[in-house]
Structure formats: structure tokens, C-alpha cells
RNA sequence: GGGGUCGUAGUUAAGUCGGUUAUAACGCCGGCCUGUCACGCCGGAGGCCGUGGGUUCGAGUCCCAUCGACCCCGCCA
């Protein structure tokens, strides 16, 4: 029976003891981080979420406690009572926040023992992810990851503070909801009482938040789990969290202002960083032209230049043929090209191959012209024009990709990031927000042979483009905007369609027949007929936001209990087989 | 669905051209040690080399398959 728990409360966190507490009696609870047994004196580093403090056991002063401490091992849980002592100057440990003091033990109690942990919890050792995920509760004892989870808690708290203050109302929406076409694959949940019918877990609360606008809540928000059954990446999980919001009687600028205010508040409150607002804006077109993608990392320049005109006139067949067939030629310039060897360039060729590029052409610029295998195909005039357009100087390296528009942008967009990382062009302290605006409403999918919504099917087209819905959908612009931070899309939203007829036209453009639209989205089309206010909103990916704020490399580092790339949980072993009885209850059979 | 990296004591890694008893560090166990803080010193235990098959006189090493983790492409309105 624990005397400390019943009679004494913990007085401090281990990590918070400071020189100012000297002379005080304290009660601490925590885990044994390390034990140093000198034969006589025993030192224990006691750890809790706030940090580590050194405990001293002297055999002459407290023989019983000292004897007990002899059997203590790593990760035992202790309660201790003792006095805070200032350490003599030569015994101060500057690497600990508590390094100026130590706690001299009066009483010691082992609250629980621990098996030897499967890995050392010091945060230094590299341990395989496999093991960390299996023993996640131990991994979460480590300082780095614990700090990430605590940061995440601050971010959600400050989000709520800001949005509540701005008059937003937190409304919960269903997790068991209706499967809808478009978008990602749904996670399905079978219904017991409706045999053969399924709920879907929401990919986002999109339609419910729009309905809340119809209901007149005016400003809604929610910090909410979303579910998408697609393949993982370093920054994707099957269940992830959105900061979701929606407002009525507003236009783009209202959403953007609110979002900027929220970001500035969160970054100030959680990281003490002052974010200058408004954030820079780029149109989708500009982003693709200059950075090759709609989530540009603007922490460094290294912009992509379009050389289609000049390259089309060159004697280099690879370029001129591509241009003749409607493709394009674009290039990147590295000022200090000498750092890349021939072998590096071959590797970069392989790299762009992943994006469908058939090769990476390159030349080195020197005082007299170019050197490189493709130099002979260019006359002095073309070389001069390209050098000028690129801003090339002696020592520069030019990297070209010639292909269809999409391949060129994909390949160079990715190469730009790859080179910036390889050549360390990125300042890790910078936080570069960028809005991307004027997205196309639709993209044509070759695999599906139809137009797909770039954003989602409830996004409002730009008003003057509405007539184009029937004549030229590819030209319709959407009233959509994404927020990009350091090359990561952390948020996206739009002004929604609030007229039933426009919504029907968009469904039609997407190839959704009237009957099908009725079956899948009838409730929305009905709602739009009952006085729907103009409205719009945005949703932020909380996990990605926190990931960047924490400087984490994987989304798993900011989620307490994440899943693997195969969407399994190594801790609980989910998903798992269920009994025949459970299946029978649900009228299900496995095949 | 496609491409890639990795898998060897509890952990992290080494292991040459296929060759005798598979190394090291940390951790663990035991002993010594009263100012350590990644304590130190001495000693010890610990291996289905992911799994299954094949080639070979002989496989951690070569081949095939398979499982798992991670990274990328496709996919993610």
C-alpha cells in the first residue's frame, strides 16, 4: 500500500525543480531513467513528462532506502520524498535543466517494477520503426515524441481559443454516414439492423458543415477525424485530423483573412513565431509555371524556366520534336554546377524517370559557351538566348526536361525539391506560407475518361465561367484556394455552390446522371432549395501542420498511435479476423 | 498495382571471393567501487543470421518465393 499516494501528494514535476526550491521538502513520482550505483552512493535520474532530476541515496543517512535502491532498475516507477539540495559548483550538470540541484532522499517507495525495456529510452539510439510501433507506449515515454504530442495539444487548444473568440461554433458531425461517389475510397461499416447496407466513415464532414450553414449556424468549426482508404505516404495516414470550418455570407477574402489570423495566432502562441500577414498568393497557373506543382516550397528560389520557344527552334531533335507535338521544354539553373558530378547527373536522370521523363539533358556553362553532350545541337544564338533567359553564368549547370506539359512540370517540380534538399538550399528555420488560388474546376482523367473535380464537386465555379460548364469544362475556374506551408499542402477550401441548379449542372459535368445524383446527393440538392446562404470554408490538415511545426519527418511522429504504411496497427494488431458469429450478425461472409 | 531500401544477440550495426568456433558497441546478469550524471573497473550469459524452398561437399553470404518495416510512383474529390 502506498503511503505517498494516500498521505502525500506529488508536489512537483521532476523536470521543474530549480535552484529556487533549495531547502524545500518535495514529493516526486516518476520513472527511473538511469541508475548509477557507485557502491556507496547511488544516483537515480528520475523522469516524468517535464524532465529529469537527480536523486541521491546515501547509505549512511538512509540505509533502508539505499538498500531498496539497490534492486531498482530502468523504468521502475518510484515515489520519493526528499529535500532539494544545491549542488556544489563543480558538480553542476549544465546539460540538465535541473542540473543545479539534486534531491536527497528521505523516503523511497517502489510503486511498480518494470521488465527491461526492449530498447533504450534515451532518444539517442536509432531503433527500428517496427519495434517502436509495437511498444508505442514506451516510445511515447521518449522526450522527442512526447514533446510533439504536447505541441499538438497546444495547437488544438489555441485553435479552439481563436475560433471560439471569433464566434465559431463547434458542432460534431456523424462518423457513421453515407458513402458518396467521388474522392477517395471509403472505409465501410456494415449495418447489423439493415442487412447488406453499409455506413461509410467520413472522408471529411463536407456536406454536414454545408447543411449547418443551411441551418443558420453561420460560423462552424470542428477538430475532427477523417478517414480515407488510400495508400500511405510519409505524410499520410488512413485516419487523420482536420481543423474544419465553414462560414456564411462571406467571400474568399473573409475565409483567407480568418485562416491567416488563425495561423498567426497558433504560431505565435505555440512556437512564439511572428507570422507576417497577409501571406503571399500565387495563382495555380503561376505555381505550376514557376515551381512545377501546386504546393510549391517557397523557402528557396531555384525556379523553373520555360524554354519551349527557343528549344523548339534548336537543332536538337529531342527538343524540337517534343515541341512540335505540343509538349514543352523547361529547365532549372544551378549557379554552382560543379558540385554535381557526372555520376550525380546520371542519378538525377533516374530520379526524373520516376515522373515519366525519358531523360534529363544537361549542359555546363563556361566563358565560351557550353560543354555537354547536347551542346553540339545548339548554335551560338540559341545558346545566348537560353543563357540570358536562365540567367546563366560561367560555372552554371542547366538541367532540361522535354516532354508533355504534365511530365515536364512533375519531373522538374520534384527535381527542384530534390536538389534543394541534396544541396541544402533550404533554411530549416523559415516558415513559408503561400496561398494558391484560381484552381481549375475540373481535370480530365484519362483512366476514367471523364472530368473529375479538382477540389470537390460542391466547389463553386467562378460566376462568369458558369456558361463554360456545358461548353468547355476544362476552362472553368473554381473559387477554391489551398494554403501551402513549406511545400506541403496544409489546407484547402472553397466557396461552395449554394444554388440547386448550379449544383445539378456540376454533377452533370462530372458525368453523374440525374437519377444517380438524386440517389447519392438528394439530401443536398433538397437542402439547397430551402434558403441556403452563400457560404464557404476551409479545412486544415492538423497532422501535417504539427509535423512541420515540430520539424518531424514523418506524420507518425505527431500521432500518438499511428498506423503503418499497410494501415495496420502493430500495437493492437488491428485489423484482425473476427468470429463467424460477428460476421453472421452483420449478414457478411468473407470470400 | 509498379519501383526501391532494409531485415544478423534485447538494441544498433560489422561480417571480404561461398570455407573452420558469426564479431563489436550499448543493454542485460554477477562482483568491486561514496560525487556520479552516457559513472568507472573486472567477469559472464546471450544467435532458428525474418520465414520457406533451391544450388553446393559446404550458405549469414548465391538463386527463387514469401512475410514485415520504411521511401517513391500510381492513388489520395
Q: What is the pLDDT of residues A429-449, one digit of tens each?
A: 999 999 999 999 999 888 788
Range 191-250, chain A: CB under 7 Å to any strand B atom? 203-204, 206, 228, 230-236
Q: Is the pTM of this model over 0.90?
A: yes
Q: For residue A125, is pLDDT > 80?
A: no
Name the residue with higher pLDDT: A274 or A125. Answer: A274
Any atom of strand B under 7 A from CB of A579? no
Any atom of strand B under 7 A from CB of A176? no
Separation CA A411–CA A407 (nearest Å): 6
What pLDDT does residue A4 have?
60
A121 CA to centre of own chain: 26
Q: CA of A591 vs C1' of B50, distance in Å?
A: 29
Categorize the per-residue pLDDT at A5 as very low, low, confident or very high, splitting at 50, 70 and 90.
low
What pLDDT does residue A373 have?
83
Alpha helices in A27-135 (DSSP H): 63-69, 129-134
What pLDDT does residue A6 have?
56
Q: Tell me what the mean pLDDT of segment A383-405 comes to.
A: 95
Any atom of strand B under 7 A from CB of A24? no
Protein residue closest to B39, using CA and C1': A36
Categorize the per-residue pLDDT at A68 as very low, low, confident or very high, splitting at 50, 70 and 90.
very high
ipTM passes above 0.90: yes
Range 437-456, chain A: CB under 7 Å to any strand B atom? 445, 447, 452-456
DSSP codes, A451-518: EEESS-TTBPBPGGGTTHHHH-GGGPBBSEEEEEETTEEEEEEEEBP--HHHHHHHHHHTT--HHHHH
Residue A208's φ and ψ, nearest 5 degrees, are -65, -40
- Percent of chain A past pLDDT 90, that is, above it, reads 89
Q: For residue A1, is pLDDT > 70?
A: no
Closest nucleotide (CA of A353 to C1')? B73
Closest nucleotide (CA of A98 to C1')? B37
- Percent of chain A past pLDDT 70, that is, above it, reads 99
Closest nucleotide (CA of A128 to C1')? B69
Alpha helices in A62-169 (DSSP H): 63-69, 129-134, 136-139, 143-165
Q: How far apart are the first and last CA of chain A?
A: 54
Protein residue closest to B25, using CA and C1': A125
Range 417-436, chain A: CB under 7 Å to any strand B atom? none
Q: Tell me what the mean pLDDT of segment A267-291 comes to.
A: 97
Among the listed residues A26, A35, A32, the one whose alpha carbon sits nearest the alpha carbon of residue A47: A32
Any atom of strand B under 7 A from CB of A96? yes
Residues paired with A46 in a beta bridge: A32, A53
Q: CA of A22 vs C1' of B14, distance in Å?
A: 49
Protein residue closest to B40, using CA and C1': A38
Residues paired with A56 in a beta bridge: A43, A104
Any atom of strand B under 7 A from CB of A570? yes
Categorize the per-residue pLDDT at A182 as very low, low, confident or very high, splitting at 50, 70 and 90.
confident
Q: Tell me what the mean pLDDT of segment A216-237 comes to.
A: 97
Any atom of strand B under 7 A from CB of A503? no
Measured torsion, CA atoms of residues A52, A57, A62, A67, in degrees rounded to the nearest 10 = 110
Residue A160's φ and ψ, nearest 5 degrees, are -65, -45
Nucleic acid strand B: bases within 7 A of protein CB: 1-2, 10-13, 26-29, 32-40, 68-77
What pLDDT does residue A572 have?
94
Any atom of strand B under 7 A from CB of A139? no
Alpha helices in A92-239 (DSSP H): 129-134, 136-139, 143-165, 206-214
The mean pLDDT value of chain A amounts to 94
Categorize the per-residue pLDDT at A56 as very low, low, confident or very high, splitting at 50, 70 and 90.
very high
Q: Tell me what the mean pLDDT of segment A61-68 comes to.
A: 94
Any atom of strand B under 7 A from CB of A338? no
Any atom of strand B under 7 A from CB of A576? no
Q: CA of A134 vs C1' of B37, distance in Å?
A: 30
* A4, A29 contact by CB (below 8 A): yes
What the block records as the C-alpha cell of A165 is 473568440
* A99, A49 contact by CB (below 8 A): no
pLDDT digits over A7-27, tens only?
A: 778 999 999 999 999 999 999
Phi-psi region of A573 (alpha: psi -120 to 50; beta: other; left: phi over 0): left
Lowest mean pLDDT among A118-127, A171-180, A471-480, A538-547: A118-127
What pLDDT does residue A446 have?
80
Amino acid at each position: 500500500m502506498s503511503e505517498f499516494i494516500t498521505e502525500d501528494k506529488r508536489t512537483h514535476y521532476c523536470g521543474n525543480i530549480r535552484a529556487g526550491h533549495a531547502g524545500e521538502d518535495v514529493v516526486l513520482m516518476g520513472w527511473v531513467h538511469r541508475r548509477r550505483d557507485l557502491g556507496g552512493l547511488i544516483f537515480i535520474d528520475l523522469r516524468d513528462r517535464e524532465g529529469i532530476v537527480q536523486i541521491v541515496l546515501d547509505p549512511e543517512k538512509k540505509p533502508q532506502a539505499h538498500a531498496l535502491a539497490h534492486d531498482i532498475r530502468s523504468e521502475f516507477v518510484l515515489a520519493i520524498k526528499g529535500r532539494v539540495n544545491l549542488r556544489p559548483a563543480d558538480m553542476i550538470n549544465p546539460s540538465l535543466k535541473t542540473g543545479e540541484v539534486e534531491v536527497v532522499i528521505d523516503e523511497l517507495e517502489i510503486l511498480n517494477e518494470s521488465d527491461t525495456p526492449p530498447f533504450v529510452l534515451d532518444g539517442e539510439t536509432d531503433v527500428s520503426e517496427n519495434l517502436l510501433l509495437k511498444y508505442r507506449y514506451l516510445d511515447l515515454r521518449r522526450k522527442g515524441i512526447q514533446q510533439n504530442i504536447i505541441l499538438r495539444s497546444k495547437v488544438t487548444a489555441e485553435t479552439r481559443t481563436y475560433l471560439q473568440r471569433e464566434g465559431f461554433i463547434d458542432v460534431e458531425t456523424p462518423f457513421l454516414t453515407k458513402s458518396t461517389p467521388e474522392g477517395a475510397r471509403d472505409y465501410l461499416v456494415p449495418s447489423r439492423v439493415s442487412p447488406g447496407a453499409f455506413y461509410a466513415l467520413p472522408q471529411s464532414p463536407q456536406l454536414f458543415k454545408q447543411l449547418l450553414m443551411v441551418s443558420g449556424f453561420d460560423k462552424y468549426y470542428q477538430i475532427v477525424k477523417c478517414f480515407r482508404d488510400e495508400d500511405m505516404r510519409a505524410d499520410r495516414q488512413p485516419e487523420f485530423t482536420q481543423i474544419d470550418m465553414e462560414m456564411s455570407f462571406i467571400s474568399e477574402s473573409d475565409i483567407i483573412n480568418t485562416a491567416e489570423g488563425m495561423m498567426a495566432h497558433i504560431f505565435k502562441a505555440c512556437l512564439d513565431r511572428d507570422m507576417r500577414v497577409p501571406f503571399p498568393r500565387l495563382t495555380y497557373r503561376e505555381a505550376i509555371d514557376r515551381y512545377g506543382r501546386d504546393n510549391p516550397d517557397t523557402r528557396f528560389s531555384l525556379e523553373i524556366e520555360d524554354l519551349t520557344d527557343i528549344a523548339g527552334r534548336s537543332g536538337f531533335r529531342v527538343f524540337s520534336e517534343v515541341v512540335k507535338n505540343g509538349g514543352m521544354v523547361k529547365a532549372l539553373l544551378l549557379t554552382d554546377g560543379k558540385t554535381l558530378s557526372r555520376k550525380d547527373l546520371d542519378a538525377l536522370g533516374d530520379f526524373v524517370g520516376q515522373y515519366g521523363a525519358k531523360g534529363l539533358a544537361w549542359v555546363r556553362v563556361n566563358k565560351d559557351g557550353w560543354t555537354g553532350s547536347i551542346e553540339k545541337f545548339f548554335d551560338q544564338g540559341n545558346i545566348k538566348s537560353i543563357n540570358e533567359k536562365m540567367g546563366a553564368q560561367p560555372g552554371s549547370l542547366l538541367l532540361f526536361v522535354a516532354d508533355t506539359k504534365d511530365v515536364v512540370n512533375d519531373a522538374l517540380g520534384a527535381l527542384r525539391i530534390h536538389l534543394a534538399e541534396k544541396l541544402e538550399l533550404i533554411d530549416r528555420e523559415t516558415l513559408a506560407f503561400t496561398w494558391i488560388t484560381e484552381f481549375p474546376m475540373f481535370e480530365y482523367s484519362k483512366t476514367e475518361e471523364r472530368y473529375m473535380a479538382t477540389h470537390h464537386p460542391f466547389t463553386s465555379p467562378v460566376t462568369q465561367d458558369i456558361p463554360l460548364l456545358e461548353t468547355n469544362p476544362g476552362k472553368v475556374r473554381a473559387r477554391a484556394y489551398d494554403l501551402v506551408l513549406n511545400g506541403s499542402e496544409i489546407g484547402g477550401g472553397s466557396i461552395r455552390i449554394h444554388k440547386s441548379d448550379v449544383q445539378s449542372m456540376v454533377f452533370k459535368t462530372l458525368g453523374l446522371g440525374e437519377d444517380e445524383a438524386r440517389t447519392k446527393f438528394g439530401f443536398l440538392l433538397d437542402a439547397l432549395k430551402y434558403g441556403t446562404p452563400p457560404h464557404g470554408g476551409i479545412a486544415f490538415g492538423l497532422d501535417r501542420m504539427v509535423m512541420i511545426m515540430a520539424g518531424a519527418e514523418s506524420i507518425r511522429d505527431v500521432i500518438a498511435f499511428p498506423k503503418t504504411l499497410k494501415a495496420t496497427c502493430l500495437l493492437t494488431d488491428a485489423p484482425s479476423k473476427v468470429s463467424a458469429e460477428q460476421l453472421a450478425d452483420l449478414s457478411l461472409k468473407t470470400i
